[in-house]
């Protein structure tokens, strides 16, 4: 019987392999579904205190759609880091995120695990997380995000919500949706829950995602 750590490593390798295989298709799907526009609109509506000294992380960035939305929303941090397990997804992310010269020099593409973030305690000013905690234990993922965020800094969390589309994605992408009550309970251990935004139903992102705005306690 393999030890728990062996299971986790095998799960991580499977996820990485899956996204290495499907990065191009995933990127096309994300381009067509309008997520980028919806997330950019939401981010623009927030009073995020992001300035020339800020460090921002897109944790589990995939092909970079959320980071692109962050660029679209006209935030201009000192550095933006896009981190993911999948090399192939990161290749696509690099190509897209480095297109605008202004952002290219300030955007780092990093292969890594959101459960072991390569950052010092309380060093980041904002984390964006979309559709990635579904691959990890909820508490461990949120605890690690809280560790690297400065006190009072926001985590913009977009979990997959229990829904018809969510269930289809769960099968296709081999993840596990966390019930939203569990997300709230786990988040409240490390964060104040500032808001829970629902996207308008006319935007495809509303069919599978919700947004929590959290603030590190
Ligand atoms: C559903 S995709 C979401 C990608 C992106 N955030 C978006 O919204 O388009 C999930 C991503 O999480 C990544 N991932 C899963 N587990 C991870 C982990 N432990 N650390 C880093 N990335 C992870 C996968 O490689 C994949 O790119």
Burial of 45 (0-12, 13-18, 19+ CB in 10 A): exposed
Q: Judge whether residue 1 has pLDDT over 90.
A: no
Domains of the chain: 4-42+50-216 (3.40.50.150)
Nearest CA to ligand 1 atom 26: 62
Q: Is the pLDDT of residue 2 over 50?
A: no
> In testing the pocket of ligand 1, which one of 29, 60, 133, 155 has its CB within 8 Å of the most ligand atoms?
60
CA 190 to ligand 1 center in whole angstroms:
22
Is the CB of 90 within 6 Å of ligand 1?
A: no
pTM for this structure?
A: 0.95
Query: What order do you get walking across the sheet with 126-130 strand by strand?
Result: 107-111, 79-84, 55-59, 126-130, 154-158, 211-216, 191-197
Q: Confirm or reject: Cβ of 43 under 6 Å from ligand 1.
A: no
DSSP assignment of 26-92? HHHHHHHTTHHHHHHHHHHTS-----TT-EEEEET-TTSHHHHHHHHTT---SEEEEEES-HHHHHH
CA of 27 to the centre of ligand 1 (A): 12
16 CA closest ligand 1 atom index: 25
Structure tokens at 171: 């099968």
pLDDT confidence band for 11 (50 / 70 / 90): confident
Model pLDDT, residue 101: 84
Separation of CA 18 and ligand 1 centre (Å): 10
pLDDT tens digits, one per residue of 127-171: 999 999 999 999 999 999 999 999 999 999 999 999 999 999 999
Q: Calculate mean pLDDT across residues 32-52.
A: 95
């Amino acid at each position: 019987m393999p030890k728990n750590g062996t299971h986790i490593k095998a799960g991580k390798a499977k996820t990485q392999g899956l996204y290495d295989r499907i990065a191009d298709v995933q990127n096309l799907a994300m381009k067509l579904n309008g997520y980028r526009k919806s997330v950019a609109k939401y981010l623009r509506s927030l009073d995020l205190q992001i300035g020339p000294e800020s460090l921002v992380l897109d944790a589990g960035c995939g092909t970079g759609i959320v980071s692109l939305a962050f660029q679209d929303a006209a935030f201009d941090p000192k550095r933006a880091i896009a981190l993911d397990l999948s090399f192939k997804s990161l290749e696509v992310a690099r190509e897209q995120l480095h297109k605008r010269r202004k952002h290219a020099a300030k955007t780092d593409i990093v292969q890594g695990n959101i459960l072991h973030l390569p950052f010092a305690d309380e060093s980041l000013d904002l984390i964006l997380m979309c559709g990635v905690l579904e691959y990890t234990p909820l508490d461990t993922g949120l605890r690690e995000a809280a560790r690297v965020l400065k006190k009072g800094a926001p985590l913009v969390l977009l979990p997959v919500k229990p829904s018809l589309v969510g269930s289809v994605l769960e099968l296709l992408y081999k993840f596990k949706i966390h019930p939203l009550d569990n997300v709230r309970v786990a988040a409240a251990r490390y964060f104040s829950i500032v808001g829970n935004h629902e996207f308008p139903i006319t935007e495809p992102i509303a069919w599978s995602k919700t947004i929590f705005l959290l603030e590190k306690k």
